[in-house]
Structure 1
Amino acid sequence: MVRANTNRDTSIFFNLVLIFSLLLFIVSMAESRTLDAVFLKPNSTPQCDTVFGVASGDSCYAITQQYKLTTEIFDSINPNINCDALFVGQWVCVAGTA
C-alpha cells in the first residue's frame, strides 16, 4: 500500500511541475509582447518636414540625388511610395524623421 501512495504522490508532483511550467511559459510570452510594444514602438509614424512634387521624368533615384538623401533615409520617410509607379503631381517627402 505504501508503494501505491508513493506512485500517486510522484504523479501529483510531476503534474504540478508541468502545470507550473506551462503557467511560467504563458506569463513569459505575455511579458515579452508587452515589453516589445513598449520598447520597440512598432507603429511609429514618419514625420515629414518638406515635400517635393514629382514632375515628368522624375525617379526616386533622381530625387534622392537632388536632395542628397540615401536610399535608406528616402525609403524610411516614404514608406508607402512605390518607386516603380511614381506619377506626376505625387508628393514625396524629402526631409523628415522616420
Structure 2
Amino acid sequence: MAKSGNKMATLLNLILVLSLVLMISIAESRKLGEEAVACDSVYGAEEGDTCESVIQKFQLGADFFLSINPNLNCDNFFVGQWLCTEGTVN
C-alpha cells in the first residue's frame, strides 16, 4: 500500500509542477499594456526620406504615423525600410 501512496504523491507533484510551468508561461507570454499595431499598407523608404516627408507624402498626422510605427527611429531611416502608412492601433 505504501508504494501506491508514493506513486500517487509523485503523480500529484508532477501535475503541480506542470501546472505551475503552464501558468508561468502563459503569464510571461502576455505583454500587459502594450498596444498591438495592425498595419494595412506599407511604404519602402527612399533615399532622403524623413518622418516629416513621409507624413506629408501620405497626408498623415504625426501622432498617428508614430503610433503605427512604434519602434521607428526618425533620425536613422535606411533605404527600403518598411514604414506603415495605414493601420490601426489596438
Q: Give the TM-score normalised by the residue count of structure 2.
A: 0.62
Q: Aligned match of 2:62 in 65, 71, 88?
A: 71
Structure 1 segment 22-33 matched on structure 2, within 5 A: none
* 1:44, distance to aligned residue in structure 2 (A): 2.2
Secondary structure class of the residue paired with 1:43: coil
Q: Give the TM-score normalised by the residue count of structure 1.
A: 0.57
Q: What residue ranges of structure 1 are gaps of 5+ in the alignment? A: 1-40
Over aligned residue pairs, what C-alpha RMSD do you find? 1.0
Q: Aligned match of 1:59 in 50, 60, 68?
A: 50
Q: Distance in 2 between matches of 1:63 and 1:83?
A: 11
Q: Looking at CA atoms only, which structure, 1 or 2, has the larger radius of gyration?
A: 1
Structure with the bigger RCO (C-alpha within 8 Å, sep 6+) is 2
Show the counterpart of 1:96: 87
* 1:42, distance to aligned residue in structure 2 (A): 1.2
Q: What residue ranges of structure 2 are gaps of 5+ in the alignment? A: 1-31
Normalized per residue, the structure richer in helix is 1
Report runs of 4+ in structure 1 exceeding 6 Å deviation.
none
How many residues in Structure 1 have an aligned counterpart in Structure 2? 58
Q: Distance in 2 between matches of 1:48 and 1:85?
A: 21
* 1:93, distance to aligned residue in structure 2 (A): 0.2
C-alpha deviations, 1:5-56, integer Å up to 9, x for none?
xxxxxxxxxxxxxxxxxxxxxxxxxxxxxxxxxxxx6122111000000011
Q: Aligned match of 1:84 in 58, 69, 75?
A: 75
